[in-house]
Amino acid sequence: MKIAVVKEQAAGERRVAATPETVKKFKALGADVAVEAGAGLTASIADADYAAAGATVGDRAATVAGADIILGVQGPAADSLAGAKPGAWIAAGLNPFGERARVDAYAAAGFEALAMEFMPRITRAQSMDILSSQSNLSGYKAVLDAAAEYGKAFPMMMTAAGTVSAAKAFIMGVGVAGLQAIATARRLGAQVSATDVRAATKEQIESLGAKAIFVEKVAGIEGEGTGGYATEMSDEYKAAQAELVSAHIAKQDIVITTALIPGRPAPRLITDAQIATMKPGSVIVDLAVEQGGNVEGAVAGEVVERHGVKIVGHRNVPSRLATDASALFSRNLYNFLSAFWDKDKNAPVLDEEIGNAIRLTQGGKVVNERLLA
Ligand code: NAD
């Protein structure tokens, strides 16, 4: 059993899919591990550290030659994996909806592609969940990015020269990233409020010491669909939400948006007209910018200014904390493979529930129902 860890090729990707810690653990399971030279450098891991953990380090061709399982943070190009075993697994964040052509290429090349972001949100898979581990870091970093762009302080400070008032921060979308953003903004001393379409988040917001801002008077709102994810809301709800947000947002200094709906473009939460009501110098961070954006005018990969308000649209926010993001991502992959490890076969054997959820391609075909629907 050979596990190959490839160096990421995507622009701006600084993470790596294994660390010396997980290499050691894979070795202890009975696997051989090969790491592409330089794979860890942008996450501050030297080739020598992988070698010391028991991996062989070489070029791409040597790394993937004879591999049974290929690990990546993002999906490697199918044609860069020549020499891997027929039917080899590719386990990575594969962006199946956004990179459909690459999924087809995996099928054509005979790989079994496993999309780690399709991991079901069930208790036993929590430790394998890359969306959670990476979103948590994104929520934290979004607040720091906002603080760095903001020309004022977050906490209230009483000084001999006078008082500095606390920043008001509003978090829109309270999933994993939003919860961490609330906690981080609170730690920095901001007055924090938050909103979501899922009623269950109200208690979570309040338990973190923030104020919950919710649409109350629209009948029949639930907001929660399958797997604990949000659903697309009714037009009546959207209108009520827009009104509520308009009134609240004009008083905010910092807004962090994190709202996503699986398989759909991100919902638009803030319009240009609403931005115009905010105080100059305020900062908005749009964590959904790569999925279409929650904020009108946000540009992926840029910090733009509208009506004196900065709109931060960094791409790939977890990669901005590459060392911790890599450590958690790598553990997710290890936890996944080790949970299914069959000692006799010296290979992982997936069960139906998780296998069917994450497997995109098998036997030369695309097999995942979310892609076939
Ligand atoms: P996500 O990244 O899909 O979306 C972020 C948040 O945006 C969600 O809270 C969503 O409700 C919210 N949102 C969507 N549309 C919105 C709108 N129009 N206005 C305001 N907010 C909007 O969410 P996530 O962080 O992946 O979490 C999704 C769910 O999965 C949560 O219930 C979370 O607790 C759950 N979860 C479960 C597990 C597990 O059990 N293994 C692990 C992680 C998360």
Q: Quick check: is 44 catalytic? A: no
The alpha carbons of the chain give a radius of gyration, in whole angstroms, of 22
Q: Domains of the chain: which residue ranges?
A: 2-118+321-360, 135-315
Calculate how far, in angstroms, residue 229's C-alpha sits from the geometric centre of ligand 1.
Answer: 5
What pairs with residue 113 in β-bridges? Answer: 90
DSSP secondary structure string for all residues of 34-66: EEETTTTGGGT--HHHHHHTT-EEE-HHHHHTT
Q: Quick check: is 135 catalytic? A: no
Nearest C-alpha to atom 11 of ligand 1 is from which residue? 230
- Topology agreement, domain 2-118+321-360 and domain 135-315: yes
User: Are the CB atoms for 45 and 76 separated by under 8 Å?
Assistant: no
Which of the residues 229, 237, 268, 324 is marked catalytic? 229
Structure confidence at residue 231 (pLDDT): 67
Q: List all residues 6 or more positions away from 313 whose beta carbon is below 8 Å from its beta carbon.
A: 286, 289, 293, 298, 299, 300, 301, 302, 303, 304
Closest by Cα among 37, 19, 160, 16 to 93 = 16
User: Are the CB atoms for 66 and 44 separated by under 8 Å?
Assistant: no
In the CATH scheme, what is the code of domain 135-315?
Answer: 3.40.50.720
d(CA 308, CA 254): 13
- Look at the pTM and tell me if it is higher than 0.90: yes
Nearest C-alpha to atom 2 of ligand 1 is from which residue? 260
For the CA of 119, the nearest atom of ligand 1: 41
pLDDT in tens, the chain (373 residues): 999 999 999 999 999 999 999 999 999 999 999 999 999 999 999 999 999 999 999 999 999 999 999 999 999 999 999 999 999 999 999 999 999 999 999 999 999 999 999 999 999 999 999 999 999 999 999 999 999 999 999 999 999 999 999 999 999 999 999 999 999 999 999 999 999 988 899 999 999 999 999 887 665 455 566 666 666 777 888 888 888 889 999 999 999 999 988 778 899 999 999 999 999 999 999 999 999 999 999 999 999 999 999 999 999 999 999 999 999 999 999 999 999 999 999 999 999 999 999 999 999 999 999 999 8
Token match 């990421």: residue? 8
Nearest C-alpha to atom 42 of ligand 1 is from which residue? 121
∠ CA 354-355-361, nearest 5°, is 140
Architecture of the domain whose range is 2-118+321-360: 3-Layer(aba) Sandwich (3.40)
Closest by Cα among 303, 326, 325, 327 to 313 = 303
Structure confidence at residue 228 (pLDDT): 65
135: which DSSP letter? H
Calculate how far, in angstroms, residue 162's C-alpha sits from the geometric centre of ligand 1.
Answer: 41
Task: Tell me the ipTM for this assembly.
Answer: 0.94
DSSP secondary structure string for all residues of 209-229: T-EE----S-TT---B-GGG-
Q: Quick check: is 126 catalytic? A: yes
Q: Quick check: is 150 catalytic? A: no
Q: How long is the chain?
A: 373
